[in-house]
Amino acid sequence: MHPRPKLFVSRCLGFEACRYNGAVIEDPLVAKLAGFCDVTTACPEKDTGLGVPRDPVRLARAGGGIRMIQPASGRDHTDAMTAFCAAKAAELAGTAPGSARPPEGLPAVDGAVLKSRSPSCGMKDVKVYRSTEPGAMADVGIGLFGQAVLSALGGAPVEDEGRLKNYTIREHFLSGLFARARFRAVAESGGPRELSEFQARHKLLFLAVNQASMRRLGRIAANLERHPFPAVLSEYGAELGTMFGSPAKPGGVINTALHAFGGFSERLSPLERKYFLDAVEEYRDERIPASALFTLLKAWAVRFEVRYLLDQVFLDPFPKELVEITDSGKGRDR
Ligand code: SF4
């Protein structure tokens, strides 16, 4: 049984026709995610009064900083957007005055999906013009709201819908999102025993994602008898942010899958062993997702009743309905 993560989404990704041209973007993954998450949305441009439809805004360097301007009207929208970003970031971080405080060290949401390349919501590859003059050249940077969300969420998974079309990035994002939601449940209503169980069940997933961070989490959890539970939770939550804030590492998934496979490989036929090792190579070559390897491992763990492996989140990190075999074809972008 998987928890329901709290997810923030750019509103134009299927929730409202609020783009500058009055359009909405139907994204299949976001639509599916909405069935498994508690979603909140915002449209920074509409919510700051730019209207729908509207003339596009852009980011441009001026006066030693980056301004948000609307070339068609000559309007400088920076101050309104900056104020909106500060208020919404505090809300997402769980620090806004009057809002319900999330448990120790956790933001108010477990992750976010932002609209790619938007001057407001974009988290990567956003055009930033070198000046406010017409025809100025552009570099790439980050959207004003995208920056605010990344800072507010303290390492919780944040991606854009374009990058999520790559299945390595998508599986990493979904694994982190659902791990954060399970950790939130421990922080909200669990105690030391539940945190120890969380640590034990996530051991292989953590090994696959970031071995150094996994060791630090182990050391933090080992303090449960010596330090107050809220202090341990807070430190653990911060380290969890570091773990899933790091890029997806297919090599870590392969090593961990081989480690799990080693637990029963001698009981398999030579043909079965070859089949699995060929599948590992297909994953390495970006031809199949990690979930294909997990399905094989899980079937054998059931057959040989490998209880330890069946309890591991690694083999079932998020609802199987969210597993997509399709890929953008752009390869892994780490
Ligand atoms: S990218 Fe962000 S600001 Fe632009 S329409 Fe979508 S939600 Fe609104």
The counts of H helices and E strands in the chain are 13, 9
What is the C-alpha separation between 21 and 216, in angstroms, rounded? 48
Which of 12, 26, 124, 147 to probe ligand 1 with, by most ligand atoms within 8 A of CB?
Answer: 12
Assessment of whether the complete model's pTM goes beyond 0.85: yes
Cβ neighbours of residue 307 closer than 8 Å, sequence gap 6 or more: none
CA 18 to centroid of ligand 1, rounded, Å: 7
pLDDT (0 to 100) of residue 327: 55
**Ligand 1 contact, 54 CB (< 6 A):** no
The atom of ligand 1 lying closest to the CA of 25 is: 6
pLDDT of residue 70: 97
* Predicted pLDDT at 331: 47
Cα distance between the two ends of the chain: 30
Our answer on whether the CB atom of 11 is closer than 6 Å to any ligand 1 atom is yes
> pLDDT tens digit string along 76-103?
999 999 999 999 999 999 988 877 777 7
Q: Is 156 in the pocket of ligand 1 (CB under 6 A)?
A: no
Cβ of 18 below 6 Å from ligand 1: yes
Average pLDDT over residues 198-214: 95
pLDDT mean over 23-40? 97
Query: Taking all residues of the chain, what is their mean pLDDT, rounded to a whole number?
Result: 93
User: How confident is residue 334, by pLDDT bands cut at 50, 70 and 90?
Assistant: very low
Residue 168 scores a pLDDT above 90: no
Ligand 1 in contact with 10 (CB < 6 A)? yes
Q: Which residue is associated with the tokens 């933001």?
A: 107
Q: Is 256 touching ligand 1 by the criterion CB < 6 Å?
A: no
Which tokens is 205 given? Answer: 């997933």
Q: Residue 176: what are its φ and ψ, rounded to 5°? A: -65, -40
Q: pLDDT exceeding 70 applies to what percent of the chain?
A: 96
State yes or no: pLDDT of 333 exceeds 80: no
pLDDT of residue 80: 98
- How far apart are the C-alpha atoms of 231 and 229, rounded to whole Å? 5
Is the pLDDT score of 123 beyond 70? yes
Residue percentage of the chain with pLDDT more than 90: 81
> Ligand 1: does its nearest atom lie under 6 Å from the Cβ of 81?
no
